[in-house]
Amino acid sequence: MKTQDWKNLGWSAALLVVAALLPLTNDGYLISLGVSIAMYTVLATSWALFSGPTHYISLATAAFFGIGTYVMGSGIEHLPYWVLLPIAGLIGGVIAALVGLATLRLSGVYFVIFTLGLAEMTRQAVTWYQNQTGHKGTYVLTELTDPDIYWQLLGLAALVFLLGWAIGRSKLGFALRIIGDDEDVARHVGINTALSKIALFVVSGATAAIVGAMIAPRYIYIEPATAFTPMLSFQVVIMALLGGTGRLWGPLVGVIPFTLLWEAISSSFPNQTTLLLGLSFLAIVYLLPGGFVGLYDRLRGRAKKRSAMA
Amino acid sequence: MKRRTFFKVTTTLAATLMAGAAFAQDNIIVGAVAPKTGPLAGGAAVTHWPNIKLWVDEVNARGGLNVGGEQRMLEVIEYDDQTNPAETIKAVQRLATQDNADIILAPYSTGLNIAAAPIFDRLGFPQITSSAATDQIGELSGQFNDMFFLLGRSTDLAEDAVEVLSDLREAGEIGNRVAMVNVADAFGIELMAVAKPAVEAAGFELVYETSYPLGTQDLSPIMKAVKGADPDAFVAWSYPPDTFGLTEQAMIEELDVKAFYTAVATAFPAFAGRFGAAAEGVMGIGGVNTASPEFMDYAARHEAATGAKPDYWASGMMYASLQILEEAIETTGTLDMAEVTQFIKDNAFETVMGTIDFDDQNSNTAYWTVGQWQGGEFKGIKETGRDGAVEPILKTGWE
Q: Each residue of A18-51: pLDDT tens digit?
A: 999 999 988 889 999 999 999 999 999 999 999 8
Measure A136 CA to nearest chain B CA, in Å: 5
B337 reaches A (C-beta below 8 A):
no
Confirm whether A136 is domain-assigned: yes
Q: Please give the residue that has the higher pLDDT: either A54 or B193.
A: B193
A280 reaches B (C-beta below 8 A):
no
CB-based contact A223 B111, cutoff 8 Å: yes
Confirm whether A183 is domain-assigned: yes
Domain architecture of chain B: domains with CATH: 3-153+292-368 (3.40.50.2300), 154-288+369-383 (3.40.50.2300)
At residue A304 the predicted structure's pLDDT band, cuts being 50, 70 and 90, is: confident
So what's the pLDDT on residue B11?
44
At residue B21 the predicted structure's pLDDT band, cuts being 50, 70 and 90, is: very low
Q: For residues B262, B36, B88 and A268, what is the CA-based torsion angle, rounded to 10 degrees?
A: -170
What whole-number distance in Å separates Cα of residue A265 and Cα of residue A275?
10
pLDDT in tens, B130-176: 999 989 999 999 999 999 999 999 999 999 999 999 999 999 999 99
Confirm whether A85 is domain-assigned: yes
Total domains present in chain A = 1
Mean pLDDT of chain A: 89
Out of B37, B86, B196, closest to residue A274 by CB? B37
Out of B84, B96, B186, closest to residue A224 by CB? B186
- The ipTM is 0.84
Tell me the residue range of the domain where A20 lies.
3-251
Chain A residues in contact with B190 (beta carbon < 8 A)? 135-137
Q: Please, are residues A156 and A214 in contact by the beta-carbon 8 Å criterion? A: yes
Is it the case that residue A111 has pLDDT exceeding 60?
yes
Confirm whether A308 is domain-assigned: no
Q: How many CB atoms lie within 10 A of CB A195?
A: 13
- Which pTM was predicted? 0.87
Confirm whether A162 is domain-assigned: yes
Chain B residues in contact with A230 (beta carbon < 8 A)? none
Confirm whether A290 is domain-assigned: no
B214 reaches A (C-beta below 8 A):
yes
Confirm whether A154 is domain-assigned: yes
CB-based contact B96 A139, cutoff 8 Å: no
Whichever domain contains A66, its CATH number is 1.10.3470
DSSP string, A141-176: --S--HHHHHHHHHHHHHHHHHHHHHHHHSHHHHHH
Which of B18, B94, B123 is the best residue to mutate to test the A interface, defined by the most A CB atoms within 10 Å of its own CB? B94
So what's the pLDDT on residue B88?
94
What whole-number distance in Å separates Cα of residue A88 and Cα of residue A91?
5
What whole-number distance in Å separates Cα of residue A59 and Cα of residue B310?
40
A272 reaches B (C-beta below 8 A):
no
Confirm whether A281 is domain-assigned: no
Q: Please give the residue that has the higher pLDDT: either A288 or A237.
A: A237
